[in-house]
Amino acid sequence: MYRRHFGLHELPFTITPDTSFFFPDSSHQEALNTLLVAVRSGEGFMKVTGEVGTGKTLLCRKFLSALDHHEFVTAYIPNPYLQPMTLLLAIADEVSLPYAPDVNQHQLLKLLSRYLIEAYANRKRVVVCLDEAQAMPLETLECLRLLTNLETERRKLLQVVLFGQPELNERLNQPSVRQLKQRITFTCELRPFTLKETELYVSHRLNVAGYREPHLFEPGAVKRLHHGARGIPRLMNIIAHKALLAAFGEGAHTVTAGHVRAAMKDTESLMSHPSWRHRLLRFLTVGVALAALGIGALVWGHWS
């Protein structure tokens, strides 16, 4: 690989949610600060939404790692496409709560309720983070709401953070979960990066990976990267990684706009995006029109 060639200690643009690479742009830092304040003030439900690839999972892990584990017990559910009973079992497993093999839903709810009361007595707060929450069945959302009914005069005994794509908002608009929607006290939205944030993001990840020289990516390359990825961090990582491979293959020590263009052509998720399909269709339409004009001119010239 290209690590030694560019003087890197590790790969800077992987798509795994490594918290050491967390970049505190405006929307991500604002969301992190909001969640930390909300859980410490005892709020019940919080919600974070963002398009695919905007860094919800990385934010979730950064949030969990920022909590004091002497004060908080945390449960992380990466795939909440679960029936109510299965979700309760997953939460019990995450907090190391023992239960009988043949436990039923009623018994498990009682066990979890008792666990939450004991945790509160021991000055522990229990926080459940559900990633990809837009996939959660409505009956499971309602079961989760019932579990959060347990509270003291000051705060909820179970706090829940929902991380999901914008479709989560549509699910929460369903009449059957309107009570849950009313309980969401804090909402955050992760936005794509601006061009300036993209410049800082690229420098940040290279610095974390050990790069100490100036401007591995030329300004034109960063601009091309930003527009090609539409400010989406995951797409930026994919394109930037391939651009580094392209530069390494040529023996170059800087990444140019040409390397980024080559990486973009090799990225299927870009070509399948509606904006790129529109651009391609427009390009083909213009090309056909110009070709028709050219043929018409040749014919006219021949007959004249």
- What confidence tens digit (pLDDT) does each residue in 46-79 have? 999 999 999 999 999 999 999 998 999 999 999 8
pLDDT at residue 290 greater than cutoff 50: no
Q: What average pLDDT score do residues 78-94 get? A: 94
For position 269, what pLDDT does the model report? 60
CA distance 59 to 46: 14
Q: What average pLDDT score do residues 201-213 get? A: 96
Residue 208 lies in a domain: yes
> What percentage of residues in the chain have a pLDDT greater than 90?
77
For position 289, what pLDDT does the model report? 46
Residue 299 lies in a domain: no
Q: Note down the domain range covering 214.
A: 3-18+193-271
Backbone angles phi, psi at 255, to 5 degrees: -100, 125
Q: What average pLDDT score do residues 5-34 get? A: 95
> What percentage of residues in the chain have a pLDDT greater than 70?
87
Examine the domain organization and report whether 90 and 183 are in the same domain: yes
Banded model confidence at residue 301, pLDDT cuts 50, 70, 90:
low
pLDDT at residue 43 greater than cutoff 70: yes
For position 153, what pLDDT does the model report? 66
CA distance 290 to 250: 35
Buried b (16+ CB within 10 A) or exposed e, 248-263: beeeeeebbbbbbbbb
Distance of CA 48 to the CA centre of its chain: 10
Backbone angles phi, psi at 53, to 5 degrees: 90, 5
Examine the domain organization and report whether 172 and 66 are in the same domain: yes
**Rg of the Cα trace of the chain?**
25
Examine the domain organization and report whether 154 and 217 are in the same domain: no
Q: 177: which 2 tokens?
A: 């979960």
Residue 85 belongs to domain with CATH number: 3.40.50.300
Least confident of 117-131, 165-179, 223-237, 280-294: 280-294
Residue 202 lies in a domain: yes
pLDDT at residue 288 greater than cutoff 60: no
How many domains is the chain built from?
2
Q: What average pLDDT score do residues 17-45 get? A: 94
pLDDT at residue 285 greater than cutoff 70: no
Backbone angles phi, psi at 127, to 5 degrees: -120, 125
pLDDT at residue 222 greater than cutoff 60: yes
Residue at a domain's end among 165, 190, 215: 190
CA distance 64 to 266: 35
For residue 255, which of 210, 220, 230, 227 has the smallest C-alpha distance? 220
Least confident of 15-24, 28-37, 65-74, 279-288: 279-288
pTM: 0.85
Q: Average per-residue pLDDT in the chain?
A: 89
Examine the domain organization and report whether 76 and 94 are in the same domain: yes
Query: Three-state DSSP class for 193?
Result: coil
Query: Three-state DSSP class for 80?
Result: coil
